[in-house]
Amino acid sequence: MIYLDHNATTPVDPAVADKMAWFLREHFGNPSSLYPIGRRVKELMNEARERVAGALGVDRGEIFFTGSGTEADNFAVFGTFDAAPERNEFVTSAIEHPAVIEAAKTLERRGAKVTYVPVDEYGTVSLDHLRSALTPKTGLVSVMHANNEIGTIEPVAEIVRIAHERGIPVHSDAVQSFGKIDVDARKLGVDFLTVSAHKIYGPKGIGALYIRRGATICPFVHGGRQERGLRAGTENTAGIVGFGEAVRVLEEKGRKERARIEKLAEALKRGIEQKIPGAKFNGPPENRVKSTINFAFPGLEAEAILLALATKEIYVSTGSACSEESEEVSHVLQAIGLRPEIARSSIRMSLGRSNAEEDIAVVLRELPAIIAKLRSISAFHPEG
C-alpha cells in the first residue's frame, strides 16, 4: 500500500504503540488517587505534558489535554465566549477546519456575530479584512496555523499583533502544522493553540489546548477537577502517555524526516506537473506545508480518481477526511476561488513517514495512466 493521506491521520509509531501497551499493562491507577499507583500515573501524565509543552515552547502548566483536536478547538471557541459573553463577536477565517467553522455557526445560532475573513487565491487570510472585522466587542480571533487541504501557512504572528493591539485574544489551530513546521506558541504570541496526537504518529482521541498563563477561559467539560478544573473527566491516560511518546519521537527524528518527506513531496509535485498536462496545482508556491499537495484535474471527478488509485492500493483524499462522506464541495477550494467543478476535480496527497522514494515512482507511473484513461471516457473533458 502507498499511503498518501497523512493529513487525515498517521500510522502510530511503533515506539508509541510499545509505550502505550506497556502503560496499559502496568498502570491502571486513577491519576486523581493519592496512593502510589495513582501518583505514578499522574507522574507519567506530567512527563507527557512536559514533552508537549516543550515542543510548543511553553510551560507544562499551560497544556490541557482534551479528547481530540476538535474538542480543543471547541474549548477555545466556547470557553472564551462563555468567559466574556458581552463580547459576542467572533472573527475567524473562511478556510478553518469544521472543528472551528461549526463551532462558529453554533455561536451564530446563539446570537453571536461571526465574521469569516476571506482568503486570497493561495489561501492566505486577508489582513485588511481581518483588521476591519475587529471591534471592541470581538471576543476572539481564531485563524489556523496551516491549512489541512492546501497547506497554506497563515501569518499568525502578524494576526496576533493586530488583535492584541486591540486587546483581543487569539486562538490558532495548529493541528496540521505541529510536526511539519516549527510551532512555537510563545513566538507566535497566541493565547490558545490546538494540537492533536494522531497527526504526529500518536494515538487517536487525544488532543491538547495550550492556554497562555493569564488568558481568560471558562471550563469546557463540567465535573471533577481534572485538567485543573477546566476539562473534567477521568483522563485518557494511555492516550496522554502515547501523545508524549509521539512528541519524543518527533524530536528525535522529526527534523531529518521532515526534510526527507518534503523532498519526496516536491518530486511528486514536479512529476505530476511534468507528466500530466492540464493538472492544476492548488495552493501557494511559498509559505506552504510542503508535504501537502493538492491538484485539480479539470473535467474529471476527484472521486473517480481516488477510487481508481485505491484499486492500485494508493490512498489519497478528496479533501479533509471530515467532509469526505458528504457531497459538499470543499469550502477551502471554493474560498480560494475555484469553480465548483474544478474543486470537485481536486485530490489531496499528503506525504509522511510511511513514504519512500519508490512510492513516488509508482504514483508517477499509475496516476498519469489513470488520468489519461478517465479523460478518454469523460464526457466533460475536451479530449473525451
Stretch touching ligand PLP by CB under 6 A, among 40-48, 53-61, 64-72, 161-169: 64-72
Distance CA 349, CA 249 (A): 24
Q: Applying CB under 6 A, which part among 21-29, 63-71, 121-129, 265-273 lies near ligand PLP? A: 63-71
Among all chains, which residue has been given the C-alpha cell 469553480? 339
DSSP, collapsed to helix, strand or coil, labels residue 134 as coil
The residue number with the shortest CB distance to ligand PLP is 69
Is 69 an interacting residue with respect to ligand PLP (CB under 6 A)?
yes
**Gap between the Cα atoms of 79 and 229, Å rounded:** 13
Q: Exactly one of 99, 279, 333, 363 binds ligand PLP (CB under 6 A); which one?
A: 99
Instruction: Report the nearest approach of ligand PLP to the CB of residue 375 (Å).
Output: 31
Grid cell in block for residue 333: 477550494
Nearer to ligand PLP, 144 or 188 (CB): 144
Q: What are phi and psi of 278, to 5 degrees?
A: 90, -10
Which of the residues 122 through 161 are near ligand PLP (CB under 6 A)?
Answer: 144, 148
Task: With beta carbons less than 8 A apart as the criterion, state whether 65 and 42 touch.
Answer: no
Task: By CB under 6 A, name the one of 93, 236, 320, 355 that touches ligand PLP.
Answer: 320
Q: Could you tell me if 173 and 142 are in contact, meaning their C-beta atoms sit under 8 angstroms apart?
A: yes
By CB under 6 A, how many residues form the interface with ligand PLP?
16
Please give the positions annotated as active site. 322
What nine digits make up the cell of 267? Answer: 518530486
Q: Quick one: which segment of 67-75, 289-297, 337-345, 367-375 binds ligand PLP (CB under 6 A)?
A: 67-75
Distance CA 360, CA 232 (A): 45
Q: Assess contact for 17 and 239: CB atoms under 8 A.
A: no
Minimum Å distance from CB 124 to ligand PLP? 16
Contact call for residues 78 and 90 (beta carbons, < 8 A): no
The set of cell numbers assigned to 93 is 477565517
Query: Based on the number of CB atoms within 10 Å of its own CB, is 211 exposed (0-12), middle (13-18) or buried (19 or more)?
Result: buried
CB 299 → ligand PLP: shortest distance, Å? Answer: 28
207 contributes a contact to ligand PLP by CB under 6 A: yes
Q: How far is the CB of 382 from ligand PLP (least distance, A)?
A: 35
3-class DSSP assignment, residue 382: coil
- Using the rule CB under 6 A, is 68 a contact of ligand PLP? yes
Please give the residues from 236 up to 295 whose contact with ligand PLP meets the rule CB under 6 A: none
Burial bucket for residue 205 (CB in 10 Å: 0-12, 13-18, 19+): middle
| Contact call for residue 298 and ligand PLP (CB under 6 A) | no
Among 80, 92, 172, 196, binds ligand PLP (CB under 6 A): 196
d(CA 103, CA 98): 8
Which CB atom, from 190 or from 308, has the smaller least distance to ligand PLP?
190
Tell which one of 80, 176, 282, 317 touches ligand PLP (CB under 6 A). 176
Comparison of 94 and 279: residue with beta carbon closer to ligand PLP: 94
- DSSP at 220: S
Binder of ligand PLP out of 10, 70, 172, 317 (CB under 6 A): 70
Spatial separation of the C-alpha atoms in residues 305 and 297, rounded to whole Å: 9
- In the complex, the residues that contact ligand PLP under the rule CB under 6 A are 68-70, 73, 97, 99, 144, 148, 173, 175-176, 196, 198, 207, 320-321
